Amino acid sequence: MNTFKIDEDRPSEHIRKIALTFNGEFEEGLGASSLKLDNSEIGHGYINLYEPFPGMNVRTYNLKLSKELSFNLKDHGYSPLYLIYCLEGSYYHHYSSTEGATKIAQGRNLISISAANEEHELTLPANEDIKISVIALLRNKLKDEGRGNLVNVIRDIVLKMDQGESYQFIGGLRNNIERHAKILVENRRTDLAGKLITEAAAYTTLAAQLDDHDKDLSKSTNIELTDKELDRVIALCNYISNNLDKSNTIKELAYTSGLYPKKLQDAFQYLFNESVAAFIKNMRLEKSKELLENTNLSVGLICDKIGINSKSYFSKIFTEKYGNLPTEYRLSFNQGENSFELSYRSKARLYLPDTEVEKIVTLSEQSNKDVGITGCLIYYEEEFFQIIEGKKSDVLNLFEKIKEDERHKKVTILWKGYRKKKIFKEPGLFFVSDRKNFNYNHIKDLGITMQSLLRGDKKTAIKDLRFWQRIRNLIIDKALVG
């Protein structure tokens, strides 16, 4: 039986483990990750993860498995609230204290809290098309920051639920969740429009699940919206995200989408719980946040890109939403806990002496320490693989130097982006190699051998990028846990 433990504090890590076990393709970003499984041993499909804000993890399973897959929802001492919706197929849910599992079928809404110290397990069966959304709310992490009312409402609901005993609610079939959950499970995009659509779908799914639980909690609006119209609205979101610098009046958007203005407004209200204008404003602000995090563009240029004419108006609405002026936000983001990672592989220069590699390692250990960069270097069969992480500007400056170094060539980036937490705890450079004659005395040991990194992967050639992607996932998996 394949069972993976889920730690809601680090929700992407069990997905990395699944990728490693079944040779899946794992892509990760800040707040969104995706795993593609495509192999006869385990099956085909996707597992996606979204973290819209601290305290809310959303996972979607869109799979056809050839073997059962189980998830152990480990107890954290603070019992997350789980809202699980089965859109297609079925699954089994089981508390550690009770005997036997409950089969939950298509169209069912499960709301569950386990008692303190109790674990529960979710099992996805084999040979069925499965579409399931799982929303986990972590009461200790839901803070009143930035996202306004919604987080507060969710927090109140979660806090009201009794923490003492386990609680399970399985809703009837007459519910309004399906359409929202369908968007949630089937949307795989992780670009800005994709993220906003998923985020909105997660909120509306959550609201519909709670509504099903307690009809008074929210008032669902029922509008007539065909699947075709729904597709048009989603295509329109994509259009808006690519044309944020345009004015985009309702009339223009109605023309672009081929929907009447009234229908358009109703559809946005239904899907996103906000007006078209509020949706566009939100998207502009999210885009500006992304640009502040990832570029050095001035606030004025950012305003041009997102179609806001006045810098002072932009600063005002940005502050209202995120609690900081744009420039302050950029500063605190750059100095914050978020760490920037860059991983690359390269080919050593022909006949590079081992002493030269030793020199790189010894010098880098000291100079990386000096600037607060952490990382590791792998040297295997004349190929280098390196992860460096730290402040974005430091990492990019160092990479510029490394790229130009004549001791290697064909430098190819495997992954770069922000991470919430660093992979390696100690600054400096860990080194792993299969070479016997190095003087390892002054080399920092990661506790991982080359043999253990190679184990289990005999099929992928070292030339193949996937070989190194797998090595990267293995290192992160081992370094983060160990």
Ligand X SMILES: Cc1cc2nc3c(=O)[nH]c(=O)nc-3n(C[C@H](O)[C@H](O)[C@H](O)COP(=O)(O)O)c2cc1C
**91 is an interface residue for ligand X by CB under 6 A:** no
**DSSP string computed for 235-283:** HHHHHHHHTTTS---HHHHHHHHT--HHHHHHHHHHHHSS-HHHHHHHH
User: Which member of 377, 378, 476, 479 binds ligand X (CB under 6 A)?
Assistant: 377
Distance CA 309, CA 172 (A): 50
Q: Which residues, at least 6 apart from 234, have a Cβ–Cβ distance to it below 8 Å?
A: 183, 187, 197
Closer CB to ligand X, 167 or 399, in the complex: 399
CB of 478 to ligand X, least distance (A): 20
CB of 344 to ligand X, least distance (A): 9
- The two three-digit tokens of residue 198, written as one number: 């998923």
The H or E element containing residue 322 is: helix 311-322
Contact 47, 60 (CB under 8 A): yes
- The two three-digit tokens of residue 446, written as one number: 């990661």
Q: Considering only residues 383-412, where is the footprint of ligand X by CB under 6 A?
A: 384, 386, 388, 398, 401-402, 405, 407-408
Closer CB to ligand X, 318 or 344, in the complex: 344
CB of 371 to ligand X, least distance (A): 8
One symbol per residue from 98 to 137: x for binding ligand X (CB under 6 A), - otherwise; what is it?
Answer: ----------------------------------------
CB of 382 to ligand X, least distance (A): 11
Residue 44 CB neighbour total at 10 angstroms: 14
Residue with tokens 């670009």: 191
475: helix, coil or strand? helix
Q: Which residues share a beta bridge with 172?
A: none
Helices (H), 76-162: 149-160
Closer CB to ligand X, 51 or 365, in the complex: 365
Contact 2, 67 (CB under 8 A): yes
User: Which member of 429, 471, 474, 475 binds ligand X (CB under 6 A)?
Assistant: 429
Q: Of 139-147, 235-243, 303-311, 382-390, which segment contacts ligand X by CB under 6 A?
A: 382-390
Number of residues in contact with ligand X under rule CB under 6 A: 16
Q: Supply φ then ψ for residue 147, to 5 degrees.
A: -80, 5
Q: Considering only residues 61-80, where is the footprint of ligand X by CB under 6 A?
A: none
CB of 480 to ligand X, least distance (A): 20
**Sign of the four-CA dihedral 73, 79, 85, 86:** positive
CB of 407 to ligand X, least distance (A): 4
Closer CB to ligand X, 244 or 453, in the complex: 453
CB of 367 to ligand X, least distance (A): 4
Which of 348, 357, 323, 382 is CA-nearest to residue 438? 357
Closer CB to ligand X, 96 or 367, in the complex: 367
CB of 405 to ligand X, least distance (A): 3
- The two three-digit tokens of residue 391, written as one number: 């402040």
Closer CB to ligand X, 117 or 412, in the complex: 412
Closer CB to ligand X, 224 or 406, in the complex: 406
228: helix, coil or strand? helix
DSSP class of 297: -
CB of 268 to ligand X, least distance (A): 49
CB of 151 to ligand X, least distance (A): 40
* C-alpha 266, offset from chain centre: 30
Closer CB to ligand X, 329 or 379, in the complex: 379
Contact 336, 292 (CB under 8 A): no
Closer CB to ligand X, 204 or 386, in the complex: 386
Closer CB to ligand X, 112 or 364, in the complex: 364
Q: Considering only residues 317-376, where is the footprint of ligand X by CB under 6 A?
A: 360, 364, 367-368, 375
CB of 481 to ligand X, least distance (A): 23
Q: Of 4-12, 139-147, 380-388, 444-452, which segment contacts ligand X by CB under 6 A?
A: 380-388
Contact 82, 139 (CB under 8 A): no
Q: Which residues, at least 6 apart from 344, have a Cβ–Cβ distance to it below 8 Å?
A: 385, 386, 399, 402, 411, 412, 413, 414
Contact 188, 194 (CB under 8 A): yes
The residues that touch ligand X, with contacts defined as CB under 6 A, are 360, 364, 367-368, 375, 377, 384, 386, 388, 398, 401-402, 405, 407-408, 429
